[in-house]
A and B are shown apart, each in its own frame.
Chain A
Amino acid sequence: MNVNKSLLPLINPLSKDNPVIVQVLGICSALAVTAKLEPALVMTISVTAVLALANVIISLLRNTIPTSIRIIVQLVVVAALVVIVDQVLKAWNYEVSKALSVFIGLIITNCIIMGRLEAFAMSNRPWASFLDGIGNGLGYGIILVIVAFFRELLGSGTLFGCQVIPQWCYEHGYQNNGMMILPPMALITVACIIWVHRSRNKDLQE
């Protein structure tokens, strides 16, 4: 594939350098909010917004931050952004905000954000950092949506809360797999994604 080099930070994290299944960052939230599609999407949008903005801010400040206190500076910037997201979400969609409960606050400690700030924003220009933030946010979102799709479809027979599996299936003895709703199945679903992804990208295998 021949793409413009400046767009690489946006494209790489989608598959080859995916934050969740290749860099193994941000697992906590990726697994906990994926029982339904809607919270998964809200989480994706929140993380992408925080990540892109934090990347730009840190990238602008990168030459003025002393190395010895950089973790604290980064945490404060991220925490401020997360507080804004939290308040917006509470005002705009209180139900989803309740469903995500502590996980919005936990965006602060989401390793994707700290990881990208350290690895990319501290050494790159603002525009590239912005693209990197969007790319990693979307790469994280893809995994979240795939996991949530299977868990909601197989676990409750719905997508976005609408019934997808028709009634006559249930009349002929089909049952929702209650297992899929439970937390451990999220891990096993991600493991399946990793399996498929690594068998297609041989160079990632250990």
Chain B
Amino acid sequence: MENLNLFIRSIFVDNMIFAYFLGMCSFLAVSKNVKTAFGLGVAVSFVLIIALPVTWCINQYILVPGALSWLGEEYAETDLSFLGLIMFISVIAALVQILEMAIEKYSPSLYSSLGIFLPLIAVNCAILGAVLFMQQREFTNAWTATVYGAGSGIGWLLAITCLAAIRERLAYSQIPAPLRGIGITFIITGLMGIAFMSFLGIKL
């Protein structure tokens, strides 16, 4: 029940895009058509689902103060938490590299349609952001972390697909020249954010 609550909250209330503005760069750049946007959303969710439990274990068994005590008494005092950022970004970069190789082998068509944005998932702030939030919230076990990762990923997928659908329609509308392109996309994202705020306070 606790986990279901966390799952729903991370999709709608703590949505990565609308509540924290994470992963905006690729969100704005890849949302021109629904199909590519959906593909990227799935890839991001996938990386999140794997990255969160892995980084949770690293954080719990290597980084937090006293985490190394399983190595022996003399390590019980060690505090490696300052290494967090470097460890997390390397794990994420490695995962993205593996994902890229897997997609290239098993689904060449998706691979060519995602193009440059596949390796760029490594620097998608939504992923590092979710990892850092996980560290900040101090989840008690790896399963909760996985649920949080899945929720954040699906929330991101939902947001980018919605925006892409709206932008496909926008092609036919009359927009003041200075606002065309990026300006109107910002306003739409803002309005969608306000709409998503109506989920605030949901509790299961």
Q: Count residues of A near B (Cβ-Cβ below 8 Å).
A: 45
Q: Are A184 and B194 in contact (CB under 8 A)?
A: yes
In chain B, what residue has the closest Cβ to A33? Answer: B21
Are B190 and A184 closer than 8 Å at their CB atoms?
yes
Q: Interface size (B, Cβ < 8 Å)?
A: 47
Give Cα A188 to B18, complex, Å.
Answer: 13
A87 to B179, CA, bound (A): 40
Within 8 A of A (CB), among B164-193: 176-184, 186-187, 189-193
Compute how far the CA of A186 lies from the CA of B186 in the bound complex, rounded to whole angstroms: 9
Task: Say which one of B30-38, B43-51, B70-78, B118-126 lies at the interface with A.
Answer: B118-126
Q: Pick the most buried of A76, A102, A182: most chain B CB atoms within 10 A of its CB.
A: A102
Chain A residues 184-206 with CB under 8 Å of chain B are 184-188, 190-191, 194-199, 205-206
Binary interface profile of B, 84-101, with partner A (CB < 8 Å = 1, else 0)?
111001100100000000
Interface assignment of B42: CB less than 8 Å from any CB of chain A: no
- Given contact pairs A27-B25, A184-B194, A205 touches B177 in the complex (Cβ within 8 A): yes
Residues of A within 8 A of B197 (CB): 182, 184
Does any Cβ of A come within 8 Å of B28's Cβ? yes
Interface of B is mostly: helix
Closest B residue by C-beta to A72: B93
The answer on a CB contact under 8 Å between B19 and A183 is yes
Q: CB-nearest residue of chain A relative to B28?
A: A24
B129 within 8 Å of A (CB atoms): yes
Give which listed residue, B93, B119, B189, contacts A187 with CB less than 8 A: B189
Q: A76-B86, A184-B18, A188-B186 are in contact. Are A199 and B136 (CB under 8 A)?
A: no
Known: A28-B125, A194-B186. A105 touches B85 (CB 8 A): yes
A106 touches B (CB below 8 Å): yes
B22 proximal to A (CB < 8 A): yes
- Closest partner residue, chain A, to B87 (CB atom): A79
Q: How many A-B residue pairs have CB under 8 A?
A: 138
Q: Is A86 an interface residue (CB 8 A)?
A: yes
> In the bound complex, what is the Cα–Cα distance between A183 and B186 (angstroms)?
12
List the interface of chain A (C-beta within 8 A of B).
Answer: 21, 24-29, 31-32, 71-72, 75-76, 79-80, 82-83, 86-87, 101-102, 105-106, 108-111, 114, 182-188, 190-191, 194-199, 205-206
Alpha-carbon separation in the docked complex, A89 to B74 (Å): 30
B122–A71 touching, CB < 8 Å? yes
Interface residues of B (CB under 8 A from A): 18-25, 28-29, 82-86, 89-90, 93, 119, 122-125, 127-129, 132-133, 136, 176-184, 186-187, 189-194, 197
CB distance from B198 to the nearest CB of A (A): 12
Complex contacts, A86 vs chain B, CB 8 Å: 82, 85
Q: A31 touching B21 by the CB < 8 A rule?
A: yes
Q: Would B21 and A186 count as touching, CB distance under 8 A? A: yes
When the two chains form their complex, are residues A105 and B187 in contact, meaning their CB atoms are under 8 A apart? no
Q: Are A184 and B20 in contact (CB under 8 A)?
A: no
Inter-chain CA distance A188–B133, complex, in Å, is 26
Expressed in whole angstroms, the minimum distance between the Cβ of B133 and any Cβ of chain A is 6
Give the docked Cα–Cα distance between A196 and B23 (Å). Answer: 25
Are A82 and B20 in contact, CB atoms less than 8 angstroms apart?
no
Task: For the complex formed, measure the closest distance between the CB of A112 and the CB atoms of chain B, giving whole angstroms.
Answer: 9
Contact of B18 among A75, A183, A191, A196 (CB under 8 A): A183
Contact B193 A184 (CB under 8 A): yes
Chain A residues whose CB sits within 8 angstroms of the CB of B20 once the complex forms: 28, 32, 183
**C-alpha gap A177/B98 in the complex (Å):** 48
Say yes or no: A106-B129 contact (C-beta < 8 A), given A71-B93, A87-B82, A101-B136. Answer: yes
In the complex, A108→B133 CA distance in Å? 15
